[in-house]
C-alpha cells in the first residue's frame, strides 16, 4: 500500500528535458531527489525512454514539477505519441 501513496512526479528542466520518477525529497530551493527515474525524449519519431535511476536535480535547473496521474499515464500509448522537443529556458 505504501508504494501506492508515493508521488510520481514529472519534471521539466531548464534545458528542455522531461524526467519522470518517484519523489524522494525536496527542499526550499526546489532541489529534487528522484528514485527509479527515467527521461522521456520527445521527437518527431516518437518517445524514447532513457533509464536514469536515482538522481538529484538542482533547483536552479527545475522549471516545472507536475504530479503525474498514474492511471492517465498508463493509458497513453507512448509508441505512437509524437512531440517536439521542448526549447531550453532563456533568461
State in angstroms the smallest separation of the CB of 12 from other proteins: 7
State in angstroms the smallest separation of the CB of 32 from other proteins: 10
Contact yes or no for 41/50 (Cβ under 8 A): yes
State in angstroms the smallest separation of the CB of 2 from other proteins: 21
Q: Residues interacting with other proteins, by CB under 8 A?
A: 10, 12, 14, 16, 18, 30, 40, 42, 59-60, 62-70, 72-73, 76, 81-84, 86-91
Contact yes or no for 20/68 (Cβ under 8 A): yes
Which CB sits closer to other proteins, 56 or 64? 64
Contact yes or no for 24/34 (Cβ under 8 A): yes
Distance CA 83, CA 45 (A): 8
Amino acid at each position: 500500500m505504501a508504494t501506492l501513496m508515493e508521488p510520481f512526479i514529472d519534471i521539466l528542466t531548464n534545458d528542455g528535458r522531461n524526467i519522470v520518477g518517484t519523489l524522494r525529497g525536496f527542499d526550499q530551493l526546489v532541489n529534487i531527489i528522484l528514485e527509479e527515474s527515467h527521461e522521456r525524449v520527445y521527437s518527431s519519431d516518437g518517445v524514447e525512454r532513457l533509464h536514469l535511476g536515482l538522481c538529484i536535480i538542482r533547483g536552479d535547473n527545475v522549471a516545472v514539477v507536475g504530479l503525474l496521474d498514474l492511471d492517465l499515464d498508463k493509458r497513453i500509448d507512448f509508441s505512437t505519441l509524437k512531440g517536439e522537443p521542448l526549447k531550453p529556458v532563456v533568461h
